[in-house]
Amino acid sequence: MSGNRRLISIAAEVALLVFAFLLFSRLHAAAGVGVAERATANALTLQSWERALRLDIELAANQWLTRHPALVQPAIYYYRLYYVVLAGVLIWLYVRRPSVYLKARRTMLLMGALALVVFFTIPMSPPRFALPGVVDIVGSRGENLYSAFPSLHFGWSLWAAYAVWAARPRLAVLAWAFPVGMAVVVVVTGNHYVLDLVASVALLATAIGVRRWTESRWRSVRTSRPSG
Protein backbone atom coordinates (compact mmCIF):
# COMPACT_ATOMS: atom_id res chain seq x y z
CA MET A 1 0.00 0.00 0.00
CA SER A 2 1.42 3.39 -1.02
CA GLY A 3 1.98 6.14 1.52
CA ASN A 4 -0.99 8.23 0.38
CA ARG A 5 -3.36 5.28 0.29
CA ARG A 6 -2.24 4.22 3.75
CA LEU A 7 -2.86 7.71 5.13
CA ILE A 8 -6.33 7.74 3.56
CA SER A 9 -7.03 4.31 5.05
CA ILE A 10 -5.92 5.44 8.51
CA ALA A 11 -7.99 8.63 8.26
CA ALA A 12 -11.04 6.63 7.20
CA GLU A 13 -10.66 4.22 10.12
CA VAL A 14 -10.21 7.03 12.62
CA ALA A 15 -13.24 8.87 11.22
CA LEU A 16 -15.36 5.72 11.41
CA LEU A 17 -14.38 4.99 15.00
CA VAL A 18 -14.86 8.60 16.12
CA PHE A 19 -18.29 8.72 14.46
CA ALA A 20 -19.25 5.40 16.04
CA PHE A 21 -18.09 6.60 19.46
CA LEU A 22 -20.02 9.87 19.23
CA LEU A 23 -23.16 8.11 18.02
CA PHE A 24 -22.88 5.50 20.75
CA SER A 25 -22.35 8.17 23.41
CA ARG A 26 -25.43 10.08 22.28
CA LEU A 27 -27.67 7.01 22.18
CA HIS A 28 -26.22 5.71 25.45
CA ALA A 29 -27.13 8.97 27.14
CA ALA A 30 -30.64 8.87 25.64
CA ALA A 31 -31.18 5.37 27.01
CA GLY A 32 -30.78 6.67 30.57
CA VAL A 33 -33.38 9.45 30.42
CA GLY A 34 -36.38 9.01 32.71
CA VAL A 35 -35.68 5.39 33.59
CA ALA A 36 -34.61 5.61 37.24
CA GLU A 37 -37.71 3.85 38.56
CA ARG A 38 -37.56 1.05 35.99
CA ALA A 39 -33.82 0.67 36.49
CA THR A 40 -34.25 0.27 40.25
CA ALA A 41 -37.05 -2.26 39.80
CA ASN A 42 -34.91 -4.24 37.36
CA ALA A 43 -32.00 -4.14 39.79
CA LEU A 44 -34.15 -5.52 42.60
CA THR A 45 -35.27 -8.34 40.32
CA LEU A 46 -31.68 -9.10 39.35
CA GLN A 47 -30.66 -9.12 43.00
CA SER A 48 -33.38 -11.67 43.77
CA TRP A 49 -32.11 -13.91 40.97
CA GLU A 50 -28.57 -13.66 42.32
CA ARG A 51 -29.70 -14.58 45.81
CA ALA A 52 -31.51 -17.62 44.43
CA LEU A 53 -28.35 -18.62 42.55
CA ARG A 54 -26.07 -17.75 45.49
CA LEU A 55 -24.21 -15.23 43.36
CA ASP A 56 -24.98 -12.18 45.52
CA ILE A 57 -21.38 -11.34 46.43
CA GLU A 58 -21.41 -7.65 45.50
CA LEU A 59 -21.85 -6.21 49.00
CA ALA A 60 -19.25 -8.51 50.56
CA ALA A 61 -16.79 -7.80 47.73
CA ASN A 62 -17.31 -4.06 48.05
CA GLN A 63 -16.83 -4.17 51.81
CA TRP A 64 -13.63 -6.16 51.33
CA LEU A 65 -12.23 -3.40 49.13
CA THR A 66 -13.15 -0.68 51.61
CA ARG A 67 -11.17 -2.58 54.25
CA HIS A 68 -8.08 -2.46 52.02
CA PRO A 69 -7.63 1.25 51.20
CA ALA A 70 -4.27 0.65 49.50
CA LEU A 71 -6.15 -1.15 46.72
CA VAL A 72 -8.80 1.51 46.17
CA GLN A 73 -6.80 3.85 43.94
CA PRO A 74 -5.39 1.05 41.74
CA ALA A 75 -8.93 -0.26 41.29
CA ILE A 76 -10.14 3.19 40.25
CA TYR A 77 -7.34 3.57 37.69
CA TYR A 78 -7.98 0.07 36.35
CA TYR A 79 -11.65 0.93 35.90
CA ARG A 80 -11.20 4.36 34.37
CA LEU A 81 -8.23 3.77 32.07
CA TYR A 82 -9.35 0.57 30.38
CA TYR A 83 -10.05 2.50 27.17
CA VAL A 84 -6.29 2.99 26.81
CA VAL A 85 -5.93 -0.78 26.46
CA LEU A 86 -8.78 -0.91 23.94
CA ALA A 87 -7.19 1.81 21.83
CA GLY A 88 -3.81 0.11 22.10
CA VAL A 89 -5.23 -3.20 20.92
CA LEU A 90 -6.93 -1.54 17.94
CA ILE A 91 -3.73 0.26 16.92
CA TRP A 92 -1.60 -2.86 17.34
CA LEU A 93 -3.98 -4.97 15.30
CA TYR A 94 -4.22 -2.36 12.55
CA VAL A 95 -0.44 -2.19 12.23
CA ARG A 96 0.52 -5.83 12.81
CA ARG A 97 -2.57 -7.93 12.01
CA PRO A 98 -4.81 -6.06 9.53
CA SER A 99 -7.01 -9.08 8.78
CA VAL A 100 -7.69 -9.63 12.48
CA TYR A 101 -8.22 -5.89 12.94
CA LEU A 102 -11.17 -5.83 10.54
CA LYS A 103 -12.90 -8.68 12.34
CA ALA A 104 -12.13 -7.20 15.75
CA ARG A 105 -13.40 -3.75 14.77
CA ARG A 106 -16.63 -5.19 13.39
CA THR A 107 -17.14 -7.25 16.54
CA MET A 108 -16.53 -4.24 18.78
CA LEU A 109 -19.02 -2.08 16.90
CA LEU A 110 -21.60 -4.87 16.97
CA MET A 111 -21.14 -5.18 20.72
CA GLY A 112 -21.88 -1.50 21.13
CA ALA A 113 -24.98 -1.70 18.94
CA LEU A 114 -26.32 -4.79 20.72
CA ALA A 115 -25.59 -3.27 24.12
CA LEU A 116 -27.61 -0.18 23.22
CA VAL A 117 -30.63 -2.38 22.47
CA VAL A 118 -30.34 -3.87 25.95
CA PHE A 119 -29.78 -0.49 27.61
CA PHE A 120 -32.99 0.86 26.09
CA THR A 121 -34.92 -2.33 26.88
CA ILE A 122 -33.60 -3.22 30.33
CA PRO A 123 -32.22 -0.18 32.19
CA MET A 124 -30.34 -1.36 35.25
CA SER A 125 -29.30 0.52 38.36
CA PRO A 126 -25.82 -0.55 39.53
CA PRO A 127 -25.13 -1.91 43.03
CA ARG A 128 -23.72 1.45 44.14
CA PHE A 129 -27.22 2.91 43.72
CA ALA A 130 -29.57 -0.01 44.28
CA LEU A 131 -27.86 -2.22 46.86
CA PRO A 132 -27.92 -0.86 50.44
CA GLY A 133 -24.50 -0.73 52.06
CA VAL A 134 -22.45 -0.62 48.86
CA VAL A 135 -19.93 2.24 48.77
CA ASP A 136 -19.53 4.13 45.49
CA ILE A 137 -15.77 3.66 45.08
CA VAL A 138 -15.19 5.13 41.62
CA GLY A 139 -17.71 7.95 41.92
CA SER A 140 -18.33 7.98 38.17
CA ARG A 141 -21.10 10.25 36.96
CA GLY A 142 -21.56 9.47 33.30
CA GLU A 143 -24.37 10.49 31.01
CA ASN A 144 -26.25 7.26 31.72
CA LEU A 145 -26.22 5.99 35.29
CA TYR A 146 -28.56 3.08 34.57
CA SER A 147 -26.69 0.93 32.05
CA ALA A 148 -25.17 -1.68 34.34
CA PHE A 149 -26.51 -4.61 32.31
CA PRO A 150 -24.42 -5.77 30.56
CA SER A 151 -21.05 -4.42 31.68
CA LEU A 152 -19.25 -2.92 28.70
CA HIS A 153 -16.14 -2.43 30.81
CA PHE A 154 -15.97 -6.19 31.18
CA GLY A 155 -17.41 -6.96 27.75
CA TRP A 156 -14.93 -4.84 25.84
CA SER A 157 -12.12 -6.15 28.06
CA LEU A 158 -13.15 -9.63 26.94
CA TRP A 159 -13.18 -8.36 23.37
CA ALA A 160 -9.61 -7.07 23.73
CA ALA A 161 -8.40 -10.40 25.10
CA TYR A 162 -10.19 -12.34 22.37
CA ALA A 163 -8.71 -10.10 19.67
CA VAL A 164 -5.17 -10.42 21.02
CA TRP A 165 -5.58 -14.19 21.36
CA ALA A 166 -6.79 -14.43 17.76
CA ALA A 167 -3.85 -12.38 16.52
CA ARG A 168 -1.13 -13.83 18.74
CA PRO A 169 -2.13 -17.03 20.61
CA ARG A 170 1.13 -17.02 22.56
CA LEU A 171 -0.07 -13.92 24.39
CA ALA A 172 -3.28 -15.63 25.51
CA VAL A 173 -2.42 -15.87 29.20
CA LEU A 174 -1.43 -12.20 29.42
CA ALA A 175 -4.41 -11.11 27.32
CA TRP A 176 -7.03 -12.99 29.32
CA ALA A 177 -5.64 -11.65 32.60
CA PHE A 178 -7.02 -8.23 31.62
CA PRO A 179 -10.75 -9.15 31.65
CA VAL A 180 -10.26 -11.30 34.75
CA GLY A 181 -8.93 -8.25 36.54
CA MET A 182 -11.74 -6.12 35.15
CA ALA A 183 -14.35 -8.60 36.38
CA VAL A 184 -13.00 -8.26 39.89
CA VAL A 185 -12.74 -4.46 39.70
CA VAL A 186 -16.26 -3.77 38.41
CA VAL A 187 -17.76 -5.91 41.18
CA VAL A 188 -15.68 -4.72 44.13
CA THR A 189 -16.19 -1.06 43.16
CA GLY A 190 -19.97 -1.48 43.21
CA ASN A 191 -20.47 -0.82 39.51
CA HIS A 192 -21.80 -4.19 38.38
CA TYR A 193 -23.51 -7.38 39.46
CA VAL A 194 -22.16 -10.85 38.77
CA LEU A 195 -24.99 -11.44 36.31
CA ASP A 196 -23.92 -8.30 34.43
CA LEU A 197 -20.69 -10.14 33.70
CA VAL A 198 -22.54 -13.21 32.48
CA ALA A 199 -24.53 -10.96 30.15
CA SER A 200 -21.27 -9.46 28.88
CA VAL A 201 -19.99 -12.90 27.89
CA ALA A 202 -23.25 -13.49 26.03
CA LEU A 203 -22.89 -10.08 24.38
CA LEU A 204 -19.43 -10.89 23.01
CA ALA A 205 -20.52 -14.35 21.84
CA THR A 206 -23.56 -12.89 20.09
CA ALA A 207 -21.52 -10.17 18.39
CA ILE A 208 -19.00 -12.74 17.14
CA GLY A 209 -21.83 -14.94 15.88
CA VAL A 210 -23.56 -12.08 14.07
CA ARG A 211 -20.27 -10.93 12.55
CA ARG A 212 -19.43 -14.41 11.28
CA TRP A 213 -22.92 -14.86 9.86
CA THR A 214 -22.88 -11.53 8.02
CA GLU A 215 -19.38 -12.17 6.68
CA SER A 216 -20.46 -15.59 5.45
CA ARG A 217 -23.54 -14.15 3.79
CA TRP A 218 -21.48 -11.42 2.15
CA ARG A 219 -19.01 -13.97 0.78
CA SER A 220 -21.90 -16.02 -0.58
CA VAL A 221 -23.38 -12.98 -2.31
CA ARG A 222 -20.04 -12.05 -3.86
CA THR A 223 -19.29 -15.55 -5.13
CA SER A 224 -22.78 -15.95 -6.59
CA ARG A 225 -22.47 -12.82 -8.73
CA PRO A 226 -21.87 -13.57 -12.41
CA SER A 227 -18.38 -12.65 -13.52
CA GLY A 228 -17.86 -10.19 -16.32
pLDDT, tens only, 55-93: 999 999 999 999 999 999 999 999 999 999 999 999 999
For residue 1, pLDDT over 90 is answered with no
Tell me what pLDDT residue 142 has: 66
118-129: pLDDT as tens digits: 999 999 999 999
- Cα 1 off chain centre by: 32
Whether the pLDDT of residue 96 is over 90: the answer is yes
* Percent of the chain topping pLDDT 70: 95
Of 91, 55, 111, 226, give the one whose Cα is nearest residue 167: 91
Q: What are 157-204's pLDDT values in tens digits?
A: 999 999 999 999 998 889 999 999 999 999 999 999 999 999 999 999
pLDDT at 218: 82
With residue 166 as reference, give the H or E element that holds it: helix 152-167
Q: Is the pLDDT score of 227 beyond 60?
A: no
Identify the pLDDT of residue 112: 97
H-helix segments, 54-151: 58-66, 72-80, 82-96, 98-121, 127-130
Name the domain count of the chain.
1
Q: For position 221, what pLDDT does the model report?
A: 75
Task: Write the pLDDT tens digit of every residue in 11-61.
Answer: 999 999 999 999 999 999 999 999 999 999 999 999 999 999 999 999 999
Q: Is the pLDDT of residue 224 over 70?
A: no
> Terminal CA-to-CA distance of the chain, rounded, Å?
26
Q: Give the domain range for residue 57.
A: 3-224
Confidence of residue 141 (pLDDT cuts 50, 70, 90): low
Report the C-alpha gap between 213 and 211 in whole angstroms: 5
**Long-range contacts, stretch 1-5, CB < 8 angstroms, 24+ apart:** none
* Pairwise pLDDT comparison (144 vs 160), residue with the higher score: 160
pLDDT score, position 47: 97
Measured in residues, the chain has a length of 228
Please tell me the predicted confidence (pLDDT) of residue 219: 79
pLDDT confidence of residue 103: 96
What pLDDT was estimated at residue 225? 63
